[in-house]
Structure 1
Amino acid sequence: MKVELEKKPQNVIIVEGFPGFGLVGTVASEYLIEHLKAEYIGHLWFDELPATIAVHAGKIIRPIEIHYAKKYNMVIVHSIASGQGMEWKISTLLNELAKTLKAKEIFSLEGVGSQEATEKPKVYFYSTDEKRGKMLTTAGVKSLDEGIVMGVTSAVLLKSPLPTTALFAETHTALPDSKAAAEIIKVLDKLFNLGIDIKPLIAMAAQFEEKVKGLIQQSEAAVDGAQRKKLSYVG
């Protein structure tokens, strides 16, 4: 279980996105990487990760990658691997990454279930940092006062020693939800002046969602295949 880094920028802000409801974290972090032109600087690795990769535009995509947007001193952790059953190990590795890079704070991007579809999904936040919470409230983001948080986000909130903020976008589907991801990016743009135009994300929603959905399906199929192969050895 380790963090492998090619570069070690310091005093960064970490933004992480893992597959969750609506794949909001994965879609949003992918879009950030592409539009901030963040460079690959490393990855997280441990034995329980599925032994699989994805190939996109002729490049290998590892299960959990680390990218760096130098202009904003922002590290983006992007995952195509489900964190189910590995949440505590992932949070431990994220804490190790944060310590190595002397990170100032962590943002976790997540989807939260909604009963019906809306053109403009609402975004909520929960922050362990009072100052950041006030900034988000001023920016018009509502605090999540009641609810159940599961997965990697909950582990990060519980174990991170740093100021940690989770952003939750409403989504009504288990399929990739680009509109929900776009609303989270809007919030990040307000906080950090990223200059990201979300119109392409919304306009290209179908294409973008199919891409991410395909990566997730490839990862899950590889795990299923490995399990079947293991059973065939036993049989």
Structure 2
Amino acid sequence: MEDIEIETVAEPTLRDPALVEGLPGVGHVGKLAAEHLLEEFDSELVARVYADEFPPQVGIDDEGVASLACAEFHAIDAGDRDLLVLTGDHQAQSHSGHYHITDTFLDVAESYDAGEVYALGGVPTGELVEEPDVLGAVADAEDIEALEDAGVEFREGEPAGGIVGVSGLLLGLGGRRGLPAACLMGETSGYLVDPSSAQAVLEVLEEVVGFEVGYDSLEERAEEMKEVAEKIQEMQSQQQGMPTDDDLRYIG
């Protein structure tokens, strides 16, 4: 195969589509958000991108059928306009690979007339966050006000170290193409899958793009992860010889 190959699956005419990227990253925030959109809306697979920069492996489905690692674009009718959702299980394995693959993603998005880009991800805090804020970064300062109105925070020097991977390059390379591009990052511990942060990011995207989506399944997963986090905290407390909440009930 070539270094990068695009497989066109369908060529629908989309209405003022926005590219929404949700590839694996911190807390799997972006991936969870993108997959939630695909679960909640009727979606159509429109393209696959294969690259030798993806890990040398295949996925195996429930029936034992193999599929080569790739990224996928799905078209979603989100009401007044359409979304072009980019997701997958892998990112590139080299610096140059990130650039080449992101350029290809933008080529595909523009072939479906996507006029703006939203990269979804997480920003690590190092500790559990019950009510995550959403931080933002943009390719053009003119887009800050609209995002702030939707509750996005722009903090000086954050995220520390910048935005790595496809999410960051969609802003940098998208901006060079004149595409309005923003990255929405939910606060997350950085060491657990975080459905709550994914929901916070989607709630902002809802308001900015203009669509409605339910969150029952994400909220259920958030409750499950909360139980996992509580067990981890309990184990850490026991390992450190610290009293747990149960140990302290006799006080007061």
Q: TM bucket by the smaller chain?
A: 0.7 to 0.9
What do residues 145-182 of structure 1 show as CA deviations (whole Å, max 9, x unaligned)? 31322122222222112111000111113332111111
Corresponding residue for residue 73 of structure 2: 66
Distance 2:181 2:109 in 1: 11
Look at both structures and tell me which one has the larger radius of gyration over its CA atoms.
2
Distance 1:36 1:58 in 2: 27
After superposition, the Cα gap between the structure-2 partners of 1:42 and 1:132, relative to the gap in structure 1 and judged at 3 Å, is same
Partner of 2:44: 39
Which ranges of structure 2 fall in alignment gaps of 5 or more residues? 226-252
Normalised TM-score (structure 1): 0.79
SS of 2:146's partner is: helix
| 8 A Cα contact 1:14 1:77, kept in partner | yes
Taking a change above 3 Å as real, the CA distance of residues 120 and 60 of structure 1, as seen in their structure-2 partners, is farther
5+ unaligned residues in a row in structure 1: which ranges?
209-235
Q: What is the RMSD of the two structures over their aligned residues, measured on CA atoms?
A: 2.5
> CA 1:58–1:204 in 2, change beyond 3 Å: closer, same or farther?
farther
**1:99 Cα offset (Å):** 2.4
Q: Residues 58 and 135 of structure 1: is their aligned pair in 2 closer, same or farther, counting only changes over 3 Å? A: farther
- Structure 1 CA distance for aligned equivalents of residues 114 and 58 of structure 2: 29
Alignment of 1:220-235 (within 5 A): none
The offset of 1:25, in angstroms, is 1.2
Contact 2:126 2:190 in 1 (8 A): no
Alignment-mate amino acid for residue 69 of structure 1:
I
Aligned residue in 1 for 2:26: 21
Structure 1 segments of 4+ aligned residues over 4 angstroms from their partners: 56-62
Aligned to 2:217: 200
- Contact kept? 1:15, 1:107, Cα under 8 Å: yes
User: TM-score, normalized by length of structure 2?
Assistant: 0.74
Matched, 1:121 2:129: no
2:172 paired residue number: 158
Inter-partner Cα distance in structure 2 for 1:14 and 1:52: 26
> What percent identity do the matched residue pairs reach?
25
Q: Matches of 1:92 and 1:174 in 2, distance apart?
A: 30
Question: Which of 76, 87, 94 is the aligned partner of 2:85?
Answer: 76
* Residue 194 (structure 1) shift: 2.1
Residue 59 of structure 1, CA deviation? 8.8
Which runs of structure 2 are paired with 1:211-226 in the superposition (5 Å)? none
- 1:12 deviates by 1.7
Q: Which residue of 2 aligns with 1:216?
A: none
Are residues 179 and 56 of structure 1, via their aligned partners in 2, closer, same or farther at CA, if it must alter by over 3 Å? Answer: farther
